[in-house]
Structure 1
């Protein structure tokens, strides 16, 4: 699987921002056997015959923003580690430290 592009990340964030506010929940099953997913205020968001899909849809409203925030946090950390790994070597820094920083830099590039 390829890494998402900056444009794809922006599209995911935009879809997330435009979605009906949560939390969402699985409501009563309708007479036709559909699992209703909606807001806690009663706005119907989706219907599906598969209860596992209903659970996934209901949790997506909180899960996706949480995952996006964690991705942002990790990307900032990787950028910081990468910049530190590229800093010029200063007097008194041992080779173990230098090798560790270089390994972190290589991991951040992947």
Structure 2
């Protein structure tokens, strides 16, 4: 695992994998011939239940096979949660910008990076340009906003202890 945020391009690559073409789940695990684990789906034909093997996992551990089988349901659920959380963060940052909330980035306890980045994105994406005139790059917005917020929070130039 990494603490590095996933880039929008990487997230888009994962989201654009066509899950509609992947066999519907749930995917299940069982011992196949020779004790090799297999990933399968249950089938129903002519009123009779059967199974279709999707993957025979020679040399894979039970944990590996369980992980592969669970990914069919977990990946779409995780992608939906990433979308939900990113929308929520974006909405919160946009609300802060609209409300004129003074976020002091130089305070004793700075805001979380994700919130700071979301606020910069919200200011930069302001379609009216009322906040910064619509002439600044994202990096310029970040620098400008840091200066403006510091000046607003510390009008006498005194930083917060």
Identify the TM-score tier after normalising by the shorter chain.
Answer: 0.7 to 0.9
Q: Does 1:103 align with 2:106?
A: no
Q: Is the partner of 1:15 in helix, strand or coil?
A: coil
Secondary structure of the corresponding residue to residue 30 of structure 2: strand
Once residues 102 and 52 of structure 2 are traced to their aligned partners in structure 1, the CA distance between those partners, rounded to angstroms, is 56
Paired residue for 1:35, among 34, 37, 43?
37
Instruction: Tell me, in whole angstroms, the C-alpha distance in 1 between the residues paired with 2:96 and 2:111.
Output: 8
Structure with bigger gyration radius? 2
Q: TM-score, normalised by structure 2?
A: 0.52
The two structures, once aligned, show a CA RMSD in angstroms of 2.6
Q: Mean alpha-carbon deviation: is it higher for 36-45 or for 75-84?
A: 36-45
- Structure 1 residues 44 and 21: alpha-carbon distance in aligned structure 2, compared to 1, 3 A threshold: same
Answer yes or no: is 1:83 the counterpart of 2:85: no
Normalization by structure 1: what TM-score?
0.73
Deviation at 1:22, TM superposition (A): 0.9
The one-character-per-residue Cα deviations of 1:6-43 (angstroms, maximum 9, x if unpaired) are 33222212335132211100023321x32000222222
Instruction: Give the aligned length.
Output: 100
Runs of 4+ in 1 over 3 A off after TM superposition: 97-100
Label 1:44 to 1:15 Cα distance change in 2 as closer, same or farther (>3 A): farther
Structure 2 counterpart of 1:46: 55
What CA distance in whole angstroms lies between the structure 1 residues aligned with 2:31 and 2:93? 50
Partner of 1:64: 75
| 1:40 counterpart SS class | strand
